Structure formats: structure tokens, C-alpha cells
């Protein structure tokens, strides 16, 4: 399998440390708000990666953190504490906020057919682990105490700039953009490992440590959790491109300084989902959630398909027009498969199965080319020379990776058919009203009412409610 490695900036052959089991770490959400559909694009990419590895024969041990403490509104150490901000916004405790948005995140994963990682660990559950690492980093001279906080000294590592490919000067600009500089840091890029002097007097989550009561920095959490659950040799570490600097850069610096050897071989990053105004981000406040898409009548799996149609390393622009087009494509696909299911006959053609499976694998092994993988699926469906039984076998097999519920006659598809029916009826009624054919308009309203569909005329047009 070939994958693009951010560390070497090359497409490389993937060779895990252990031939059988791949150890994979993926950064999880900061649970102070809903995940937006941009975050979810990254989780879809990671899900496809895990399922592809499974499909080609690897066992995958995957771990993900849930950040419930220590993440500031800037990804460096400045700005407000995200969790505290969320708690103040909703007049709840940070614990309530964390629980609520963790549950909401899991529900999004379920809706998108994203498999939950084998190990999911809350940042606040691993405090001892971070303290152990920070103590070692201090002992080895990689970290220093200043103003009662512990900082990592980036000048002590020679490969600090490798992952981002940026030089010190570029990074200085990036750091400076982060409002205030911390006068206690030796170098501007140094980052906090443990904070005891917090400017947030109302900091709720805090623990005792050798340096006083405080809390961990965001970056140490992922290193601590990954090292604890996956050991000191990781195969793949993933996230969105915004994680490259400073988060993953800092993870590498502190983990490798702690363990004394190379930590992770392959770093993979998903490009962003943008809206028309640029990168979708939680801090902008105005972002789209999966629940909102559902409220608007879109099937979450249509969003999954929308993601799969483009390569994870390309930016993707979200629009409702694109969602409508993908809804049509998804409906057609499901209906085509349904018609094949209704005629499930013929013999399994093993040679054809092998050929198509090999095309499918080739697409995915080419740095997860999901749009080519979808093309292989379409090629199967339109192949007149293979039996329906063979087609259905391949559809079910490919769906182990695509996870689009291709063989389920899911209610969502029926819902979408229903949605189309109602919209057609509303259009017919509007036309009747335009032609002053009020009897016909009433007839349509009553026909829908009999089906428990209630129309309401508003200044923005006709809306409906299903009773």
C-alpha cells in the first residue's frame, strides 16, 4: 500500500513495524462544542484508512483521545480555555459540557458509519502518565520550569521543523499571530507541558503534581495517551492538516525526547473542508453540524459519500447544491442495487470477483483513492456480463470499506423518496394555485393530509410537517 507521509513529503510504501498489527493513533475532538462537518471529514478519512488496512489483511489497533482539558483557543498556549468557554456559554460545568459533546460526537460517528476506535481515552483520565513524561523531560534537560509552569525547550531537538517543513522564521510568524507572547518562554515556539499558574482563576479541572496544582498542556495529552495504550512504536498518526503545526510537531518533539528513538513512521493528514468563506472552524462560531444536515433532510451517508468522492488530500468545498447532487447519486445507486437484489440470480463468478476486488484494492492502495474505488463499484454495477449474484457479492464486500449501507433497504432512502414525493406534490399545488385551480390545490393538500403530511404556507414558501 502506498500512502503520502507528511514527514518525508513523499508517497511511500507502507511497511508497519509488525507485519500483522498496525498501531494507529488519531487525534480526537475537543469536546466543548459539536463536531462540525469539517472535523467529521477527517474522521471519515481515518475510518476509510482503518477499514482499508483491515480489508487488505491487517489487524489494526487504533486509539483516539477525547480532549476535555488543556486546549486553548489558539493551538499554542494562548487565548481562552476552550472547555471553560463552552461551560460559560451554556451555563454548565465543564464536566457536563464534556459529557454532552462526547455523546454527541459518538452519535455523529454512528450516523456516518464510522467505526469507533478500539481505545478511546479522555485526556483527564491519564494525568499520571503526563506527569511521568514531564518529570523525565525535566530530568533529561528537554524541559524547564519558569513562573511555576513547565515548558518544553524546542531548541533542544534538532528535527523540530521536519514535520511542518517550515523554518524557524516561518514558525515565529505563526506563533506571533497568537496574540500575547508568554514572557517566561525561552524560545517563542516553546510550549507548555504543565501549567500551574493559570490566568483562569476559575479553572475547574486541576490536579496535584510535583510542580503544584495545575493541568496538562494539550499536546502532552496525545503523546501520553498514545504511549500508554500503543507503546513506543507507532505506525500511523493522523489528523487534519491544521494539526501538523504546532500539535503534531510538539507531539514528536516531546515523545521522541522521552523515549529516545523515532516514535511514529507515517504521519497522514486530511485536508480541510471549506465553506464558501474559507476553512470551517468551531472558533468562527458559524459552522455546520451533522444534525443540521439531518434536519434539512440529508442522509448522513450522503455526506459520507460526498467526502469519498474527493481525495482526502484535496481541499473540499461544501455546498448544499453538491449535497443535492450527491443525494441523487446515492439514491440512484441504492435503487440500482435494490433492483439487482430483487433479481438475485445466477452463479458467483470467482474470476470476475478476483479481478474487481483487485481493482478496488489498487484504488485504495493508491494513497486511499476513494473516488476511483467508487468508480470500480459503478463498473461492477454496469457490467452486463456478470450475474446479479456476483454483483451483490462485490457490493457487500466493497461496503466493508465504503460503509454506505449499500445492501440495506434503509429507511433513510425511503425517507428521501418520500421527500421527493412531497416536494413534487408541493410544486403541483403551487402550479394549481397559480392557475387559480383552488379545488385541485385543496385536493393535493388533503391527499397529503391523509398521509399525515401537513402543509403550511409561510412567507418563504410552503413547508411540511410529518405527524
Q: Is 240 in the site for ligand AMP (CB under 6 A)?
A: yes
How far is Cα of residue 238 from the mean position of the Cα atoms in its chain? 10
Size of interface with ligand AMP, in residues (CB under 6 A): 18
Q: Is 41 in the site for ligand AMP (CB under 6 A)?
A: yes
Q: Which is nearer to ligand AMP, 243 or 254 (CB)?
A: 243
Question: Which x/- pattern over 241-260 shows residues binding ligand AMP (rule: CB under 6 A)?
Answer: -xx-----------------
Q: Which is nearer to ligand AMP, 2 or 279 (CB)?
A: 279
Q: Is the dihedral of CA 226, 227, 230, 232 positive or negative?
A: positive
Identify the residue whose cell numbers are 474505488.
Answer: 373
Q: Is 280 in the site for ligand AMP (CB under 6 A)?
A: yes
User: Which of 33-41, 154-162, 394-402, 421-429 is the region at the interface with ligand AMP (rule: CB under 6 A)?
Assistant: 33-41
Q: In the complex, what is the shortest distance from the CB of residue 109 to ligand AMP, in angstroms, rounded to a whole number?
A: 12
Q: Is 163 in the site for Zn ion (CB under 5 A)?
A: no
Q: In the complex, what is the shortest distance from the CB of residue 27 to Zn ion, in angstroms, rounded to a whole number?
A: 3
Among 113, 281, 289, 388, interactor with ligand AMP by CB under 6 A: 281
Q: Are strands 215-216 and 191-195 parallel, antiparallel or unpaired?
A: antiparallel
User: Which of 221-229, 361-369, 409-417, 420-428 is the region at the interface with Zn ion (rule: CB under 5 A)?
Assistant: 221-229
Per-residue cell: 275? 465553506
Ramachandran quadrant class, 463 (left: phi over 0; alpha: psi -120 to 50; beta: rest): beta
CA pair distance 429, 436, nearest whole angstrom: 10
Reduced to 3 states, what is the DSSP secondary structure of residue 42?
Answer: helix
Q: Is 363 in the site for Zn ion (CB under 5 A)?
A: no
Please choose which of ligand AMP, Zn ion, none residue 29 contacts, taking the beta carbon within 5 to 8 angstroms, the exact cut-off set by kind.
Answer: ligand AMP
Q: Is 300 in the site for ligand AMP (CB under 6 A)?
A: no
Q: Is the dihedral of CA 443, 448, 450, 454 positive or negative?
A: negative
Q: How far is CA 189 from CA 11, 144, 160, 279, 370, in A?
A: 29, 14, 10, 24, 37
Q: Is the dihedral of CA 22, 41, 278, 371 positive or negative?
A: positive
CA pair distance 258, 138, nearest whole angstrom: 10
Which position's Cβ is nearest ligand AMP? 240
Q: Which is nearer to Zn ion, 192 or 300 (CB)?
A: 192
Q: Is 121 in the site for ligand AMP (CB under 6 A)?
A: no
Q: Which residues pair with 194 in a beta bridge?
A: 150, 216
Strands (DSSP E) contained in 119-174 are 119-122, 143-146, 149-152
Q: Which is nearer to ligand AMP, 45 or 151 (CB)?
A: 45
Backbone angles phi, psi at 264, to 5 degrees: -125, 135
Among 115, 279, 294, 419, interactor with ligand AMP by CB under 6 A: 279
Q: In the complex, what is the shortest distance from the CB of residue 16 to ligand AMP, in angstroms, rounded to a whole number?
A: 22
Residues 152/250, Cβ–Cβ less than 8 Å: yes
User: Which of 87-95, 142-150, 218-226, 281-289 is the region at the interface with Zn ion (rule: CB under 5 A)?
Assistant: 218-226
Among 273, 308, 402, 448, interactor with ligand AMP by CB under 6 A: 273
How far is Cα of residue 445 from the mean position of the Cα atoms in its chain? 42
Q: Is 237 in the site for ligand AMP (CB under 6 A)?
A: no
Q: Is 31 in the site for Zn ion (CB under 5 A)?
A: no
Q: Is 272 in the site for ligand AMP (CB under 6 A)?
A: yes
For the chain, what is the total number of helices (H) and then of strands (E)? 15, 16
Backbone angles phi, psi at 248, to 5 degrees: -70, -35
Among 29, 192, 216, 300, interactor with ligand AMP by CB under 6 A: 29
Cis peptide bond prior to 416, omega within 30° of 0: no
Q: In the complex, what is the shortest distance from the CB of residue 397 to Zn ion, in angstroms, rounded to a whole number?
A: 33
Reduced to 3 states, what is the DSSP secondary structure of residue 394?
Answer: helix
Please choose which of ligand AMP, Zn ion, none residue 222 contacts, taking the beta carbon within 5 to 8 angstroms, the exact cut-off set by kind.
Answer: Zn ion
User: Which of 25-33, 227-235, 251-259, 327-335 is the region at the interface with ligand AMP (rule: CB under 6 A)?
Assistant: 25-33
CA proximity to 74, closest of 179, 194, 185: 179
Q: Which is nearer to ligand AMP, 62 or 282 (CB)?
A: 282
CA pair distance 301, 432, nearest whole angstrom: 35
Q: Is 27 in the site for Zn ion (CB under 5 A)?
A: yes
Q: In the complex, what is the shortest distance from the CB of residue 373 to ligand AMP, in angstroms, rounded to a whole number?
A: 20
Q: Is 192 in the site for ligand AMP (CB under 6 A)?
A: no
Residues 222/251, Cβ–Cβ less than 8 Å: yes
Q: In the complex, what is the shortest distance from the CB of residue 280 to ligand AMP, in angstroms, rounded to a whole number?
A: 4
Q: Is 288 in the site for ligand AMP (CB under 6 A)?
A: no
Reduced to 3 states, what is the DSSP secondary structure of residue 403?
Answer: coil
CA pair distance 380, 332, nearest whole angstrom: 15
Binding residues for Zn ion, per CB under 5 A?
27, 222
Binding residues for ligand AMP, per CB under 6 A?
27, 29-30, 38-39, 41-42, 239-240, 242-243, 270, 272-273, 279-282
Amino acid at each position: 500500500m502506498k500512502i503520502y507521509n507528511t514527514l518525508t513529503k513523499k508517497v511511500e510504501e507502507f511497511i508497519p513495524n509488525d507485519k500483522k498489527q498496525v498501531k494507529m493513533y488519531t487525534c480526537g475532538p475537543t469536546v466543548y462544542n459539536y463536531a462540525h462537518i469539517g472535523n467529521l471529514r477527517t474522521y471519515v478519512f481515518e475510518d476509510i484508512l482503518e477499514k482499508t488496512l483491515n480489508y487488505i489483511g491487517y489487524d489494526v489497533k487504533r486509539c483516539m483521545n477525547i480532549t476535555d482539558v488543556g486546549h486553548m483557543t489558539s493551538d499554542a498556549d494562548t487565548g481562552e480555555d476552550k472547555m471553560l468557554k463552552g461551560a460559560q456559554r451554556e451555563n454548565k460545568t465543564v464536566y457536563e459540557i464534556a459529557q454532552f459533546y462526547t455523546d454527541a460526537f459518538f452519535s455523529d460517528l454512528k450516523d456516518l458509519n464510522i467505526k469507533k476506535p478500539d481505545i478511546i481515552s479522555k485526556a483527564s483520565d491519564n494525568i499520571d502518565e503526563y506527569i511521568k513524561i514531564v518529570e523525565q523531560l525535566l530530568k533529561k534537560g528537554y524541559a524547564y520550569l519558569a513562573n511555576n509552569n513547565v515548558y518544553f525547550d524546542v531548541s533542544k531537538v534538532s528535527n523540530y521543523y521536519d514535520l511542518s517543513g517550515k523554518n524557524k522564521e516561518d514558525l515565529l510568524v505563526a506563533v506571533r499571530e497568537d496574540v500575547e507572547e508568554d514572557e517566561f518562554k525561552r524560545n517563542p515556539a516553546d510550549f507548555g507541558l504543565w501549567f500551574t499558574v493559570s490566568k483562569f482563576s476559575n479553572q475547574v479541572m486541576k490536579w496535584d503534581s510535583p510542580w503544584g496544582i495545575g493541568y496538562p498542556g494539550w499536546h502532552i495529552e496525545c503523546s501520553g495517551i498514545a504511549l500508554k495504550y500503543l507503546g513506543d512504536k507507532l505506525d500511523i498518526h493522523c489528523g487534519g492538516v491544521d494539526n501538523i503545526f504546532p500539535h503534531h510537531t510538539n507531539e514528536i518533539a516531546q515523545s521522541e525526547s522521552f523515549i529516545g528513538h523515532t516514535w511514529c513512521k507515517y504521519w497522514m493528514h486530511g485536508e480541510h473542508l471549506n465553506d464558501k468563506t474559507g476553512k470551517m472552524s468551531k472558533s468562527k462560531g458559524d459552522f455546520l453540524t451533522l444534525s443540521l444536515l439531518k434536519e434539512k433532510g440529508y442522509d448522513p451517508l450522503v455526506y459520507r459519500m460526498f467526502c469519498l468522492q474527493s481525495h482526502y488530500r484535496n481541499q473540499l468545498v461544501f455546498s448544499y447544491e453538491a449535497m443535492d447532487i450527491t443525494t441523487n447519486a446515492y439514491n440512484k445507486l441504492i435503487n440500482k442495487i435494490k433492483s439487482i437484489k430483487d433479481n438475485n440470480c445466477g452463479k458467483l463468478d470467482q474470476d470476475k470477483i478476483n479481478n474487481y476486488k483487485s481493482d478496488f484494492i489498487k484504488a485504495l492502495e493508491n494513497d486511499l483513492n476513494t473516488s476511483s474505488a467508487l468508480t470500480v463499484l459503478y463498473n461492477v454495477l454496469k457490467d452486463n456480463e456478470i450475474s446479479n449474484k456476483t454483483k451483490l457479492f462485490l457490493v457487500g464486500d466493497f461496503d466493508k470499506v465504503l460503509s454506505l449501507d449499500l445492501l440495506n433497504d434503509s429507511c433513510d432512502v425511503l425517507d428521501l423518496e418520500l421527500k421527493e414525493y412531497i416536494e413534487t406534490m408541493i410544486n403541483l399545488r403551487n402550479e394549481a394555485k397559480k392557475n387559480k385551480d383552488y379545488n385541485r390545490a385543496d385536493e393535493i393538500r388533503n391527499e397529503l393530509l391523509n398521509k399525515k403530511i401537513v402543509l403550511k404556507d409561510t412567507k418563504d414558501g410552503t413547508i411540511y410537517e410529518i405527524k
